[in-house]
Structure formats: C-alpha cells, structure tokens
Amino acid sequence: MPDQRLVLASASPRRIDLLAQIALSPDVVDPAGIDETALPGELPARHALRLAEAKAQIVAQRHPGAYVLAADTVVACGRRILPKALDRDTARRALLLLSGRRHRVHGGIALALPEGRIVSRRVETAVVFKRLDSIEIEDYLASGEWQDKAGGYAIQGLAARFIRGIIGSYSNVVGLPLFETAALLAGHGFTRARRLPPASR
C-alpha cells in the first residue's frame, strides 16, 4: 500500500473547508510560498495550471512519499488575469470590470504522487455578474470580504447576490473543484477518505 498521508500545499481556509465537505482532511498543511506573478504573455488557464504544478513540486520535496495536493485559482476577463485584491482600490477596479459581464474562473489542481510523479487537471467555470451600481460596490467594499480574494469577490459570501448564473463547477470558484479533486485522488490510489454518514430521512 502506498503512503496515505495527504499534504495540502495551501494555507487557504476555504480549501480546507472544501476538502472536509468531501470527507478529506489533510495530515499536514504546508503552503508553497511561491512567486505567483504571471509570466510575460501567459494566458490565465496556463497560469493557474503552472502555479498548481509548481506548488505541488516544491512541497513534495519536503514530504517524500506523501500525496501532495496543490491548487491555484485565477479569475480572468478574456486574456486579462485579475489580481488578488489586497487593497480596496484593487477590489473596486475588479468589481467595476466584472460588473454586467461574464468572466471565467480557471482552477488548476496538481497532485504529487508518492513515487514523485505529478499529475494535474484544469477546470474552467463561467460566472455571470449582474450590473452593479456604485452603492452596491461601496457596500461590498465596506464588508471587507474581498480581501485576498482573486477577482475581489467571494461567491460563497455576500457576493452571491451579484451572481446571475454560473456554468461549470461552483466549488472551483470557491477555490477547489471538488469533483475533479476527488477523481484525481481516487484515480491514483488514494483511498483514505472517511466513510459517508447514512443519509437522514
């Protein structure tokens, strides 16, 4: 049997909560701490996948023999990558750009296997925003929910009222595509998920 330790190469509480939703709990949380700057001319989808693979590779070197799961989430309008919102001005610009438009959320997931090989997947979700007025934007900025969020919003929070619809994985927008993550782990021998409780009647 291969080593069934699971290392999450991310300190994101959202990703930890999402894994718990599918009965997975990492043994170790070890963020990679890499430079997440896009390369010149790098497209959003490739950027998300490259960062996820880089995180998995770096953290796997610190945990030989374990399964190391890494992910990255990129919000994009066309070919433009929206940064994580670290200040109100960045968040405001992102919300103004997303207002009344469809954008895409690119999720990259990578899994370093116990023998050292890395496998990865890319997931894409389309998100449609309503047109936001200035009061809605300023109210949302006042909430502080946008802090450190890709694209300046959290779909699982107050920003849910701005979302007219999504096409694709909801959990990908939150921070980790659960169907693809579970399939990637199960497809490469990881079997240590908790048993599901019986359904309530």
Residues with catalytic annotation? 72
Beta-bridge mates of residue 68: 7, 112
d(CA 113, CA 34): 20
Strand-pair partners of 84: 150
Contacts of 131 (CB under 8 A, 6+ apart): 99, 100
Q: Are 63 and 118 in contact (CB under 8 A)?
A: no
* CA dist 42 → 48, 180, 199 (Å): 10, 24, 45
| Phi and psi at residue 143, to the nearest 5° | -70, -25
Q: From the CB of residue 47, how many other CB atoms can be counted at a distance below 10 Å?
A: 20
- Residue 67 DSSP SS3: strand
